[in-house]
Amino acid sequence: MRYLLVDTANTFFRARHSAFRASDTWEKVGFALHVTLASINKAHRDQKADHVIFCLEGRSWRKDFYAPYKANRAVARQALTEKEAEEDKAFWESFDAMNTFVKEGTNCTTLQHPELEADDLIAGWIQSHPNDEHVIVSSDTDFYQLLASNVKQYNGITDELHTLEGIFDKKGNRVLDKKTKEPKIVPDPEWILFEKCMRGDATDNVFSAYPGVRKKGTKNKVGLQEAFEDKKKRGYNWNNMMLQRWVDHNEVEHRVLDDYERNCILVDLTRQPDDIKAKIAETIAEGQQAKQVPMVGAKFLKFCGKYDLVKLSDNASTMAEWMNASYPVKGV
């Protein structure tokens, strides 16, 4: 089986940002919905997927584990003007409407839990289906850590497929770096994960475990590369870095190892606390049901009519192919 795992919020709101040229809010909303569903349709067709899973966000458990987590986003929302806030509300309402349609009007699987993020559910689905193939639909490089021989990532905005073998365009050609003219490569997933756990993630407001650390060390100081190469042996370079201490602007002392371990729990999609892993497993088990929603095509046309999605409605028969495909329960 080949599953298409949609990072739903990422896909929709990336599409929203590409709709800035539209004349008004209604047109922007329609454009975002069109790009979202069209990119899923294209990924389903090109990757020959058997079933589509929409993964949705809850209020993340990470906010209770680490208070600063994504706190920067609330600050950004508070800074919106009245007009921007109204537009933001319209986008959220259309996003919710799309998710309701997917849940109630299609045979696609929808995964959501009040305490889990889409990242948790996508990783959990892959881990619970180790013998199947998976294509993640998202522009979020956090998913690089999941790339494997049976896991790829499709970026619907750039129309690129990211794999361990490289990055490919819509024609299947290697994407070249604009500066070097050499084929782009996806870095080692283990290195990407280690570097993010050390440097933190400004987007999610996860602080660095060792501010200012260099990638390559000097004669007198170990860098990230040397520590990473020593990670399995836990030798001098690893311990030299992890036992370093630094003081933040509030005069609070930090040990690198402590902050690194904290970041691993936040960032590594195999390191969630046991109670969270149990909720992931439970949510996925509940989602592994063969839905039998009738008249999917008609429901899709009604949704298109509500948001003036003319081009999508003209392509309704193709869209209905993946919307009709149920989870393949054995014996059903």
In a domain, 332, yes or no: no
Rounded-to-integer distance, Cα 322 and Cα 18, Å: 25
Model pTM score: 0.93
User: How high is the pLDDT of residue 80?
Assistant: 86
Rounded-to-integer distance, Cα 120 and Cα 271, Å: 10
Rounded-to-integer distance, Cα 168 and Cα 183, Å: 9
User: How high is the pLDDT of residue 117?
Assistant: 97
How confident is the chain (332 residues) per 10-residue block, as mean pLDDT? 97 84 82 94 95 96 95 85 88 96 97 98 97 96 95 92 94 91 90 96 95 92 96 95 95 97 97 97 95 95 95 93 90 50
Q: Say if residue 77 is in the same domain as residue 139.
A: yes
Rounded-to-integer distance, Cα 278 and Cα 274, Å: 6
User: How high is the pLDDT of residue 204?
Assistant: 94
Which CATH number is 70's domain given?
3.40.50.1010
Q: Say if residue 166 is in the same domain as residue 125.
A: yes
Q: Say if residue 28 is in the same domain as residue 148.
A: yes
Token reading at 226: 């040397």
- Strands 51-55 and 109-111, by their bridges, are parallel
Q: Say if residue 143 is in the same domain as residue 71.
A: yes
User: How high is the pLDDT of residue 78?
Assistant: 85
Q: Say if residue 162 is in the same domain as residue 74.
A: yes
End-to-end CA distance of the chain: 15
Range of the domain at 86: 2-187+272-324
In a domain, 65, yes or no: yes
In a domain, 329, yes or no: no
Rounded-to-integer distance, Cα 74 and Cα 84, Å: 14
Q: Say if residue 183 is in the same domain as residue 196.
A: no
Rounded-to-integer distance, Cα 104 and Cα 316, Å: 17
User: How high is the pLDDT of residue 21?
Assistant: 66
Rounded-to-integer distance, Cα 212 and Cα 66, Å: 22
User: How high is the pLDDT of residue 293?
Assistant: 95
In a domain, 216, yes or no: yes
User: How high is the pLDDT of residue 106?
Assistant: 97
> Taking Cα atoms as reference points, which of 114, 100, 118, 117 lies closest to residue 53?
118
Residue 106's SS3 state is coil
